[in-house]
Amino acid sequence: MSQQQPHASDAAHSPRGSQATRPPSAEAGPPSAAPRAGGHRSAPSAAGWATGGLVFAGVLMLVNGLLAVLQGVSAIAEDEVYARIGDYVFKAGLTAWGVILLALGVVVAAVGYGILRGEWWARIAGIFVASLSMVAHFLFLPYTPVWSVIMVGINFFVILALATAPDAPRASRRGSR
Protein backbone atom coordinates (compact mmCIF):
# COMPACT_ATOMS: atom_id res chain seq x y z
CA MET A 1 0.00 0.00 0.00
CA SER A 2 1.17 3.50 -0.74
CA GLN A 3 0.92 6.33 1.72
CA GLN A 4 -0.95 9.44 0.75
CA GLN A 5 1.43 12.33 0.21
CA PRO A 6 0.58 15.52 2.12
CA HIS A 7 -0.31 18.52 -0.01
CA ALA A 8 0.46 22.17 0.71
CA SER A 9 -3.24 22.98 1.04
CA ASP A 10 -3.84 20.19 3.59
CA ALA A 11 -2.75 22.41 6.47
CA ALA A 12 -5.26 25.09 5.46
CA HIS A 13 -8.13 22.59 5.39
CA SER A 14 -7.29 20.68 8.56
CA PRO A 15 -8.69 21.58 12.00
CA ARG A 16 -6.64 23.94 14.17
CA GLY A 17 -3.95 22.28 16.19
CA SER A 18 -4.01 19.17 14.02
CA GLN A 19 -0.50 18.26 13.02
CA ALA A 20 -1.38 14.85 11.59
CA THR A 21 -1.48 15.87 7.95
CA ARG A 22 1.28 18.45 8.14
CA PRO A 23 4.58 17.27 6.67
CA PRO A 24 7.67 17.59 8.88
CA SER A 25 9.32 19.88 6.34
CA ALA A 26 6.49 22.45 6.72
CA GLU A 27 7.50 23.07 10.34
CA ALA A 28 10.99 24.09 9.31
CA GLY A 29 9.82 27.30 7.57
CA PRO A 30 10.78 28.55 4.13
CA PRO A 31 13.29 26.67 2.02
CA SER A 32 16.87 27.69 2.41
CA ALA A 33 20.21 26.71 1.00
CA ALA A 34 21.03 24.74 4.17
CA PRO A 35 22.10 21.16 3.62
CA ARG A 36 19.51 18.46 4.26
CA ALA A 37 20.06 14.95 5.48
CA GLY A 38 22.14 13.17 2.90
CA GLY A 39 24.20 16.26 2.04
CA HIS A 40 21.81 17.66 -0.59
CA ARG A 41 21.03 21.37 -0.65
CA SER A 42 17.57 22.72 -1.24
CA ALA A 43 16.83 25.41 -3.80
CA PRO A 44 17.95 28.92 -2.83
CA SER A 45 15.24 31.26 -1.64
CA ALA A 46 13.90 34.12 -3.76
CA ALA A 47 15.52 36.67 -1.44
CA GLY A 48 18.93 35.14 -2.10
CA TRP A 49 18.37 35.31 -5.85
CA ALA A 50 17.33 38.96 -5.60
CA THR A 51 20.39 39.82 -3.54
CA GLY A 52 22.49 38.04 -6.15
CA GLY A 53 20.66 40.08 -8.78
CA LEU A 54 21.69 43.30 -7.03
CA VAL A 55 25.31 42.18 -6.91
CA PHE A 56 25.05 41.19 -10.58
CA ALA A 57 23.68 44.66 -11.46
CA GLY A 58 26.29 46.45 -9.37
CA VAL A 59 29.21 44.58 -10.90
CA LEU A 60 27.85 45.03 -14.43
CA MET A 61 27.43 48.75 -13.81
CA LEU A 62 30.99 49.07 -12.49
CA VAL A 63 32.37 47.26 -15.54
CA ASN A 64 30.04 49.15 -17.90
CA GLY A 65 31.16 52.45 -16.37
CA LEU A 66 34.85 51.60 -16.62
CA LEU A 67 34.51 50.49 -20.23
CA ALA A 68 32.51 53.62 -21.12
CA VAL A 69 35.26 55.77 -19.58
CA LEU A 70 37.88 53.96 -21.66
CA GLN A 71 35.70 54.25 -24.76
CA GLY A 72 35.21 57.96 -24.11
CA VAL A 73 38.92 58.60 -23.56
CA SER A 74 39.80 56.81 -26.77
CA ALA A 75 37.18 58.79 -28.71
CA ILE A 76 38.50 62.09 -27.29
CA ALA A 77 42.20 61.31 -27.71
CA GLU A 78 42.18 59.81 -31.18
CA ASP A 79 39.48 60.34 -33.77
CA GLU A 80 40.90 57.52 -35.90
CA VAL A 81 39.98 54.80 -33.38
CA TYR A 82 36.44 54.46 -34.72
CA ALA A 83 35.52 54.07 -38.36
CA ARG A 84 34.12 57.17 -39.98
CA ILE A 85 30.49 56.95 -40.92
CA GLY A 86 28.70 58.77 -43.69
CA ASP A 87 25.56 60.75 -43.09
CA TYR A 88 24.15 60.14 -39.61
CA VAL A 89 20.98 61.66 -38.16
CA PHE A 90 22.61 62.64 -34.87
CA LYS A 91 25.28 65.14 -35.90
CA ALA A 92 27.74 64.90 -33.02
CA GLY A 93 31.46 64.59 -33.59
CA LEU A 94 33.50 61.79 -32.12
CA THR A 95 34.98 64.16 -29.54
CA ALA A 96 31.47 65.04 -28.33
CA TRP A 97 30.61 61.34 -28.10
CA GLY A 98 33.81 60.84 -26.15
CA VAL A 99 32.83 63.47 -23.59
CA ILE A 100 29.32 61.99 -23.31
CA LEU A 101 30.65 58.46 -22.79
CA LEU A 102 33.32 59.64 -20.34
CA ALA A 103 30.82 61.52 -18.17
CA LEU A 104 28.24 58.75 -18.36
CA GLY A 105 30.86 56.13 -17.52
CA VAL A 106 31.93 57.95 -14.35
CA VAL A 107 28.31 58.27 -13.19
CA VAL A 108 27.49 54.63 -14.04
CA ALA A 109 30.55 53.36 -12.14
CA ALA A 110 29.68 55.51 -9.10
CA VAL A 111 26.10 54.25 -9.05
CA GLY A 112 27.32 50.65 -9.47
CA TYR A 113 29.56 51.15 -6.44
CA GLY A 114 26.57 52.50 -4.51
CA ILE A 115 24.53 49.42 -5.44
CA LEU A 116 27.28 47.13 -4.19
CA ARG A 117 27.39 49.09 -0.93
CA GLY A 118 23.62 48.64 -0.55
CA GLU A 119 22.74 52.32 -0.74
CA TRP A 120 18.98 52.90 -1.10
CA TRP A 121 19.35 55.73 -3.63
CA ALA A 122 21.56 53.65 -5.92
CA ARG A 123 18.78 51.32 -7.08
CA ILE A 124 16.60 54.14 -8.38
CA ALA A 125 19.58 56.01 -9.80
CA GLY A 126 20.80 52.74 -11.32
CA ILE A 127 17.60 52.24 -13.28
CA PHE A 128 17.74 55.82 -14.53
CA VAL A 129 21.46 55.74 -15.42
CA ALA A 130 21.23 52.30 -17.06
CA SER A 131 18.38 53.67 -19.18
CA LEU A 132 20.53 56.65 -20.20
CA SER A 133 23.40 54.32 -20.98
CA MET A 134 21.10 52.16 -23.07
CA VAL A 135 20.00 55.18 -25.12
CA ALA A 136 23.58 56.46 -25.46
CA HIS A 137 24.82 53.11 -26.74
CA PHE A 138 21.89 52.91 -29.12
CA LEU A 139 22.85 56.32 -30.52
CA PHE A 140 26.52 55.22 -30.71
CA LEU A 141 25.42 52.19 -32.78
CA PRO A 142 26.91 53.37 -36.12
CA TYR A 143 30.40 53.66 -34.61
CA THR A 144 30.52 50.27 -32.84
CA PRO A 145 27.49 48.20 -33.88
CA VAL A 146 28.22 44.88 -32.17
CA TRP A 147 29.51 46.44 -28.96
CA SER A 148 26.55 48.80 -28.75
CA VAL A 149 24.04 45.95 -29.11
CA ILE A 150 25.86 44.02 -26.36
CA MET A 151 25.78 47.05 -24.06
CA VAL A 152 22.07 47.64 -24.72
CA GLY A 153 21.45 44.01 -23.69
CA ILE A 154 23.59 44.33 -20.56
CA ASN A 155 21.77 47.50 -19.57
CA PHE A 156 18.46 45.68 -20.03
CA PHE A 157 19.54 42.99 -17.55
CA VAL A 158 20.79 45.65 -15.11
CA ILE A 159 17.40 47.39 -15.20
CA LEU A 160 15.61 44.05 -14.77
CA ALA A 161 17.74 43.06 -11.78
CA LEU A 162 17.32 46.44 -10.09
CA ALA A 163 13.58 46.65 -10.72
CA THR A 164 12.76 43.14 -9.47
CA ALA A 165 14.91 43.10 -6.33
CA PRO A 166 12.87 43.20 -3.10
CA ASP A 167 12.96 46.19 -0.78
CA ALA A 168 15.40 46.07 2.13
CA PRO A 169 13.71 45.87 5.55
CA ARG A 170 13.21 49.26 7.19
CA ALA A 171 15.14 48.22 10.30
CA SER A 172 18.31 47.61 8.28
CA ARG A 173 17.88 50.96 6.48
CA ARG A 174 17.67 52.84 9.80
CA GLY A 175 20.79 51.09 11.05
CA SER A 176 22.82 52.21 8.04
CA ARG A 177 22.28 55.93 8.67
Instruction: Give the number of C-alpha atoms closer than 13 A to the C-alpha of residue 56, restricted to the C-beta side.
Output: 18
- Whether residue 108 lies inside any domain: the answer is yes
pLDDT of residue 29: 45
Q: For residue 54, is it within any domain? A: no
Residue 58: per-residue pLDDT: 92
3-class SS at 92? coil
Residues 71-97 have pLDDT tens digits of 889 888 876 666 666 666 666 777 888
User: Are 55 and 118 contacting, i.e. CB atoms less than 8 angstroms apart?
Assistant: no
Indicate whether 40 belongs to any domain.
Answer: no
Total number of domains constituting the chain = 1
Q: What pLDDT score does 37 carry?
A: 55
Structural domain contains residue 29? no
Residue 14 lies in a domain: no
Of 111, 118, 123, 120, nearest to 64 by C-alpha is 111
- 19-60 pLDDT, tens digit each: 444 444 444 444 444 455 555 554 445 455 446 788 989 999
Q: What is the mean pLDDT of the chain?
A: 74
Q: What confidence tier does 13 reach under pLDDT thresholds 50, 70, 90? A: very low
Does any domain span residue 118?
Answer: yes
Q: Is residue 72 part of a domain?
A: yes
Mean pLDDT of all residues in 99-119: 93
Mean pLDDT of 142-146: 83
Q: Are 72 and 106 in contact (CB under 8 A)?
A: no
Instruction: Give the per-residue pLDDT at 106.
Output: 96
CA distance 174 to 15: 41
Q: Has residue 136 been placed in a domain?
A: yes
127-141: per-residue pLDDT in tens? 999 999 999 988 888
CA terminus-to-terminus distance, the chain: 61
Domain with 134, as residue range(s), is 62-166
Q: What is the pTM of this model?
A: 0.64
